[in-house]
Structure formats: C-alpha cells, structure tokens
C-alpha cells in the first residue's frame, strides 16, 4: 500500500507501465466537471471509476481485495477514512474474484484519513476498506484508476 500526495506521483510511475498514463490522465482531464461513471483510458488495461458518495460509519464498512487489478484511489474532494491490512492475515468470507475481481474479508487493520489531493495505491496483497467517514459523514469525490496486472 502506498499513500502520498499527487504532487509526488512521479515517484511511482516506474512501479507499473500503466501508472504514468493514469497520473497523466489525472492531470489532463477535467475530473471536477465530469460525471460519476466508468471511463475507459486503455480498454480493460486501465480505466477510471469516477465516484461521488457520502462516507459511511465504520460499522457499515467491509474489507475487500482484488486479484487482477491494482487500485489507485485519488481523493478529489473531501476526506475519507480508509483501512488497510495484509490479505494473508485475514479470512475470506465471500469470493467474487472470478466474476467481479474482489473478495470480502474479515480481520483487523489500520486506518488513515485521505484528504483531497492525496492518493493511495492498493496492490493485490492489500486488503482495503474505503468509503468511511473521517468523523462525520461527508460527500466526497474520488477517482479510482483500475490498473490491470500483467
């Protein structure tokens, strides 16, 4: 898992051949005026899920992990609390990896508040719990780049 500010995105482009394209899209596209939805960038190799929703209490959150995609989650507006844990230390309760590339897990993890202008990168070994309220619930806008693993 990586947590940083978008000003430092260049430090991470060498980690995957599609990271540079994701961060370039972030800089060049008017995400603040685009509607929530799915945007293809490079087919199923790299696409964007632009999201807007109210954050929720911890009790409504759940741990998830992916196998085929890396998540780059960029906070555009608001602050969201996110959990992170190693999948090897958790128990799988639902397996949807084949059809939807996610599994639901239970266990313990750590939490951090991700503010506007910051991003996280979750790899397949990283369970994560997004969408949580950092204090009281607030409406957030987030860009989730899905980067296919080769």
Kindly report the length of the chain: 150
Tens-digit pLDDT profile for residues 7-42: 999 999 999 999 999 999 999 999 999 999 999 999
Measured torsion, CA atoms of residues 42, 122, 88, 68, in degrees rounded to the nearest 10: -10
- What is the predicted pLDDT for the residue at 91? 92
Residue 150 pLDDT > 80 = no
Tens-digit pLDDT profile for residues 129-143: 999 999 999 999 999
CA 135 from centre of chain: 20
Residue 30 is given by DSSP the state -
Number of Cβ atoms within 10 Å of the Cβ of 141:
18
Report which of residues 68 and 150 the model is more confident about. Answer: 68
Q: What is d(CA 36, CA 23) in angstroms, rounded to the nearest whole number?
A: 18
């Amino acid at each position: 898992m990586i947590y940083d500010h978008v000003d430092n995105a260049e430090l991470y482009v060498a980690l995957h051949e599609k990271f540079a394209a994701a961060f370039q899209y972030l800089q060049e596209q008017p995400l603040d005026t685009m509607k929530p939805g799915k945007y293809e960038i490079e087919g199923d190799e790299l696409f964007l899920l632009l999201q807007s929703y109210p954050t929720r209490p911890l009790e409504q959150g759940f741990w998830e992990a992916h196998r085929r995609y890396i998540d780059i989650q960029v906070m555009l507006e608001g602050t969201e609390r996110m959990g992170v844990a190693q999948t090897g230390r958790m128990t799988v309760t639902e397996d949807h990896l084949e059809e939807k590339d996610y599994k639901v897990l239970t266990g313990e993890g750590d939490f951090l508040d991700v503010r506007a202008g910051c991003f996280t990168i979750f790899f397949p070994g990283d369970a994560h719990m997004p969408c949580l309220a950092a204090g009281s619930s607030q409406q957030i806008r987030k860009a989730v780049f899905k980067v296919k693993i080769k």
